[in-house]
Amino acid sequence: MRQTYRQTSRPAIGLLLTALSLTAIALPAAHAETPAYAAKLVNEGTITIATTGNAPPITQTKPDGSLDGYDVELCRTIAAGLGLKANFVRVDFAATIPGLTAGRFDMICSATARTPARLASPDLSMTSPTLQNFSTLLVPAGSKIATVADIKGKKVGTVRGGQEAKLITEDYGSDVELTTYPGIAEETMDLKNGRIDAVALNFVTGSYTAKMNPGLKVLNPGFVKQGVSPYDHALIVSRAQPALLEAVNAEIAKLKAAGTLDQLQQKWISAN
């Protein structure tokens, strides 16, 4: 009996020791695979995202106050792919970049143009493109502004911190009177009330706004300026988070390859 016990137990003990050894080896490996950006996130296990909720259908607010839109759904999908919770913080557009550089946000997901100035910024990193767009004008349906060149001598609204104010100032200077607003909703209201003659904004949002407001129309073609319009949209992360940029770009590449980006554009852009 003792001889039988020793013969059958040795293989079992050997297997047990092998399993324990493999477990001991696996634990440090799992720990080493923790993403380099994880420790720098604003909140552990969460990606904190700045958005305006004020540029439909790219980022918008539903009647119940929750956020939705192309960029919002895209960033939720990216967060899920990274194994992180998505926490959206709604702010005016002008506060998005200062908040990111101050460490209050991990990413900006708010219809941001992938401009040469932002690409060259020492503080910001822009992801690979997520959507194509261009700058144009939203005007009353009966307006004499038939092309973007017709804004000379007119009052034009722009979103504070957006690229349209810079574009118009560089091309038209004092020939155009600019009024800045915190978001699309505010400038659209002034346009409808006759306080301004036009709103300079992106074509996707302009088309959606005109659809929701039959008394308004969006101009196409819009502004054409090398490196400024047409342009790509992208997400923004801090230059201090290169590992996060790499991870987000990897997720965008996966979504493109799987056709998910096309599906999101069909849902949010083409359908609107």
pLDDT tens profile 160-213: 999 999 999 999 999 999 999 999 999 999 999 999 999 999 999 999 999 999
User: What pLDDT, on a 0 to 100 scale, did the predictor assign at position 153?
Assistant: 96
Report how far residue 223's alpha carbon sits from residue 202's, in angstroms, rounded to the nearest whole number: 10
Largest Cα span, the chain: 106
Q: Return the domain boundaries, the chain.
A: 39-132+232-270, 135-218
Q: Region 229-235: what's the mean pLDDT?
A: 97
Q: One fold for both 39-132+232-270 and 135-218?
A: yes
DSSP 57: T
Q: Which CATH class is domain 135-218?
A: alpha beta
Report how far residue 153's alpha carbon sits from residue 223's, in angstroms, rounded to the nearest whole number: 17
Report how far residue 235's alpha carbon sits from residue 131's, in angstroms, rounded to the nearest whole number: 10
Report how far residue 198's alpha carbon sits from residue 201's, in angstroms, rounded to the nearest whole number: 10
Architecture of domain 39-132+232-270: 3-Layer(aba) Sandwich (3.40)
Which residue did the predictor score with more confidence, 8 or 223? 223
Which residue did the predictor score with more confidence, 100 or 17? 100
